[in-house]
């Protein structure tokens, strides 16, 4: 069931502080913030709280001169969609810059929506209400609310301006209760990762059946990690689009560094990561680095080769990917590699079905009895090595957690057991219990000898 909360759209020209206010309202650093204008391109939504008011807030691309290029047109389309969805509009101006022709032009557009509009004057740390109100009156949007989103000033005044509109909405009228899905139906987080311009946003747009995310032929269009709610076969899913991840050594620009860190954060909190490959390059070095970061975080990883219709030597391409995966990620065997064409949706359903299948394996919990019967058989077949004059003794194994499946192996000398033998056990455990493509962790511990008296 969806929330009955009102939607509040943050509207204004570039660099007036919309994303800073968005982060302030949601209580997290979700949107990228930078002095460079035009950082935000897609619209981003979040659950906001201001005092006892709860609402959904939408951050939007900065309203700029309407240009003819495809990227600007798509950004304007996203902002227009936010205006259409919104119940309340916060029209934000920059006090330091003063009113501009663009402010007046877009104030006219906002007025034509016939929706409640609150004029917010940001960056007003040193300005008086009287000096701001005089100039802002030209916009014809009523009283102005001076704030400083960066410093949290003026939030009480913003609360007072929002409160009369909020009281009419179900969810804020009754002690601001929120109607949400049951905790057992929390959405599955699926993050799409990859190098710039491989088609991540195109894939999500196809899944949603609409141009929800800005796309273009040029690399670096996506900057924020944008989350969009969706359903697949009745299962709630949160799709997360990320900025293209170039080699870290090549990332010099501060904005790109922020986008890179935002993408890593999206991987960290996802359950499933889909690494999208370029159709011309089978698993480049940067792809292997990105894949390894997902595995290190214990996330499920699937490989999708986009624009498969353009690949000429298809078998050779897949063979190259599988070979490189075996060399770069030997700790995770059986990672699925699925060719797709995001634009037409070819094979996309197969990719999603595979993802859900591995997700179930990722949640696997094995009984201690089954594990130790397996351990006894495998150790009998291939005993651990001799260290010094005695053979290492492996006593028992137990699973301590899922997501990813994590095991503790108790031995006589934990520091002496070779890494190669741990890999041998891990690979056989994966094969025996049918856990292909699932990251597995084995921790080695020493168990005390009960016949040695302790002081």
Residue 184's pLDDT is what?
42
pLDDT in tens, 269-297: 889 999 999 888 888 888 888 888 888 88
Q: What is the pLDDT of residue 297?
A: 86
Residue 194 in tokens? 């990859």
Contact 13, 102 (CB under 8 A): yes
Q: Return the pLDDT at 406.
A: 92
Q: Tell me the whole-structure pTM to 2 decimals.
A: 0.62
Domains of the chain: 7-166 (3.40.50.300), 183-362 (3.40.50.300), 368-446 (3.30.300.20)
pLDDT computed for residue 369 by the predictor: 92
pLDDT at 326: 85
Residue 265 is encoded by which pair of tokens? 């954060």
Non-local CB neighbours of 114 within 8 Å, separated by 6+ positions: none
Integer CA distances (angstroms), 423 to 100, 134, 372, 384, 408, in order: 64, 72, 17, 12, 14
For 284, residues 6+ apart whose C-beta sits below 8 A from its C-beta are 195, 278
Q: What are phi and psi of 100, to 5 degrees?
A: -120, 170
Contact 408, 443 (CB under 8 A): yes
In contact, 433 and 361? CB cutoff 8 Å: no
**Do the Cβ atoms of 200 and 222 come closer than 8 Å?**
yes
For residue 308, the number of C-alpha atoms closer than 13 Å in the C-beta half-sphere is 21
Q: What pLDDT shows up at residue 142?
A: 82
CA angle (34, 70, 203) in 5-degree steps: 80
Which residue stretches of the chain have pLDDT < 70? 1-3, 28-42, 62-77, 126-134, 168-185, 212-225, 244-259, 447-455
Q: How many CB atoms lie within 10 A of CB 286?
A: 18
Which pLDDT value is given to residue 216? Answer: 43
Quick one: DSSP state of residue 412?
Answer: S
Q: What is the pLDDT of residue 170?
A: 52
For residues 369 and 404, the answer to whether their CB atoms sit within 8 Å is: no
Residues 6+ apart with CB under 8 A from 313: none
- Tokens representing residue 100 in the block: 């501009």
Structural element, H or E, at residue 188: strand 188-194
The distance from CA 279 to its chain's CA centroid, rounded to whole angstroms, is 24
């Amino acid at each position: 069931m969806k929330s009955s909360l009102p939607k509040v759209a943050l509207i204004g020209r570039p660099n007036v502080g919309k994303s800073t206010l968005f982060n302030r309202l949601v209580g997290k650093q979700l949107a990228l913030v930078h002095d460079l204008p035009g950082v935000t391109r897609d619209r981003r939504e979040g659950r906001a709280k201001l005092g006892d008011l709860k609402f959904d807030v939408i951050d939007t691309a900065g309203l700029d001169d309407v240009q003819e290029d495809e990227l600007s047109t798509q950004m304007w389309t996203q902002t227009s969609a936010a205006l259409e969805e919104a119940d309340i509009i916060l029209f934000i101006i920059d006090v330091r810059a003063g009113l501009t022709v663009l402010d007046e032009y877009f104030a006219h557009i906002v007025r034509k929506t016939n929706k409640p509009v609150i004029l917010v004057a940001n960056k007003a740390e040193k300005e008086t209400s009287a000096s701001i109100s005089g100039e802002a009156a030209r916009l014809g949007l009523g009283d102005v609310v001076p704030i400083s989103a960066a410093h949290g000033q003026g939030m009480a005044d913003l609360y007072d301006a929002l409160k009369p509109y909020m009281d009419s909405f179900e969810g804020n009228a009754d002690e601001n209760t929120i109607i949400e899905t049951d905790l057992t139906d929390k959405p599955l987080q699926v993050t799409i990762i990859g190098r710039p311009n491989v088609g991540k946003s195109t894939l999500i747009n196809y899944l949603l059946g609409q141009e929800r995310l800005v796309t273009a032929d040029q690399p670096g269009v996506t900057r924020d990690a944008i989350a969009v709610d969706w359903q697949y076969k009745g299962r709630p899913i949160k799709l997360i689009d990320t900025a293209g991840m170039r080699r870290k050594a090549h990332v010099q620009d501060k904005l790109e560094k922020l986008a890179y860190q935002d993408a890593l954060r999206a991987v960290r909190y996802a359950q499933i990561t889909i690494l999208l490959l370029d159709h011309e390059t089978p698993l480049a070095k940067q792809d292997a680095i990105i894949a390894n970061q997902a595995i290190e975080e214990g996330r499920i990883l699937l490989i999708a080769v986009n624009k498969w219709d353009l690949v000429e030597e298809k078998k050779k391409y897949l063979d190259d990917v599988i070979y490189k995966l075996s060399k770069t990620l030997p700790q995770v065997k059986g990672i699925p590699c699925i060719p797709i064409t995001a634009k037409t949706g070819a094979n996309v359903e197969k990719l999603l079905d595979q993802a859900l299948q591995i997700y179930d394996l990722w949640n696997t919990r094995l009984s201690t009895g089954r594990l130790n019967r397996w351990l006894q058989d495998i150790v009998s077949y291939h005993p651990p090595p001799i260290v010094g004059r005695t053979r290492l003794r492996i006593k028992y194994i137990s699973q301590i957690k899922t997501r990813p499946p994590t095991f503790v192996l108790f031995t006589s000398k934990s520091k002496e057991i070779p890494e190669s033998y741990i890999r041998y056990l891990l690979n056989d455990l994966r094969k025996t219990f049918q856990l292909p493509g699932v990251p597995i962790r084995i921790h080695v511990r020493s168990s005390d000898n009960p016949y040695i008296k302790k002081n």
